[in-house]
């Protein structure tokens, strides 16, 4: 099957609590801005993916809601308020609905490129499929075909948990997709890969990088 037949769902924690393992990578006063910049770059790439027709962001954060709406995503409140997996199930199974093909991904993929997400979605078969993070232990993308509950198992060891729940592993050369940012070391890695304009621009403003490499998706209006 081809075409823009996917709904993407991205959960985003309240920015005041988000990316706690990344605290200290920038001045504390700019930490929320960094978390939001990564969300913006992720959403920018997902909105630009040719296989995606709708992007839902599940969040209770007002600044994140406004920012993603300006990028073309639809923000919905995190009604369950019960953590990452509940937010994903809510967005994918209740808001998007089981009749859609759904893909959930984290909001901390600032080097994501639209074409690599498109390739991963192209490779997703019937049932459920997932892409493991660069370390091979976590998960960056989980998909569910129409009619199939998402059944997410994000958290520590989620790659093994998704495999055990009979989701199919997708493999490909998708460095931006596979590098989520949890720590300052991850941030250096995605900058080397080519982070998007929001993350790159903030770090440049802060004098932490002179240049962000050649990659990334430019900021700006979409589609």
Ligand X SMILES: Nc1nc2c(ncn2[C@@H]2O[C@H](COP(=O)(O)OP(=O)(O)OP(=O)(O)O)[C@@H](O)[C@H]2O)c(=O)[nH]1
Residues that bind ligand X (CB under 6 A): 11-13, 18-21, 58-59, 78, 83-84, 87, 106-108, 180, 182
List of residues 6+ apart from 79 with CB closer than 8 A: 90
Q: What is the dihedral of CA 129, 134, 140, 146, to 10 degrees?
A: -20
Q: How far is the CB of 181 from ligand PEP (least distance, A)?
A: 8
Q: How far is the CB of 101 from ligand X (least distance, A)?
A: 21
List of residues 6+ apart from 187 with CB closer than 8 A: 22, 25, 181
* Residue 138 is a binding residue for ligand PEP (CB under 6 A): yes
Binding ligand PEP by CB under 6 A: which of 61, 116, 133, 197? 133
* Residue 136 is a binding residue for ligand PEP (CB under 6 A): no
> Would you list which residues are annotated within the binding site for phosphoenolpyruvate?
139, 155, 158
β strands within the chain, DSSP E: 6-12, 52-59, 74-76, 101-105, 128-132, 139-144, 168-169
**With respect to ligand PEP, which residue has the nearer C-beta, 58 or 66?**
58
Binding ligand PEP by CB under 6 A: which of 42, 65, 158, 199? 158
65-124 positions binding ligand PEP, by CB under 6 A: 106
| Contact residues for ligand PEP, defined by CB under 6 A | 106, 133, 138-139, 154-155, 158, 180, 182
């Amino acid at each position: 099957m081809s075409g823009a037949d996917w709904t993407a769902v991205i959960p985003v924690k309240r920015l005041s609590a988000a990316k706690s393992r990344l605290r200290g990578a920038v001045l504390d006063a700019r930490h929320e801005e960094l978390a939001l910049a990564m969300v913006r770059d992720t959403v920018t790439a997902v909105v630009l993916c040719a296989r995606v027709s709708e992007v839902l962001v599940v969040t209770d954060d007002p600044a994140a809601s406004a920012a993603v709406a300006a990028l073309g995503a639809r923000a919905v409140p995190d009604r369950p308020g019960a953590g990452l997996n509940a937010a994903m199930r809510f967005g994918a199974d209740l808001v998007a609905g089981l009749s859609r093909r759904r893909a959930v991904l984290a909001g901390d993929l600032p080097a994501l490129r639209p074409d690599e997400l498109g390739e991963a979605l192209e490779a997703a078969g019937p049932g459920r499929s997932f892409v493991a993070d660069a370390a091979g232990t976590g998960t960056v993308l989980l998909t569910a075909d129409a009619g199939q509950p998402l059944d997410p198992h994000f958290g520590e060891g989620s790659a093994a948990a998704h495999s055990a729940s009979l989701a199919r592993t997708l493999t490909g050369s998708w460095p931006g997709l596979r590098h989520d940012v949890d720590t300052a070391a991850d941030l250096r890695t995605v900058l080397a890969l080519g982070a998007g304009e929001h993350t790159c621009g903030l770090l440049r403003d802060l004098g932490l990088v002179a240049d962000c490499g050649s990659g990334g998706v430019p900021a700006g209006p979409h589609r």
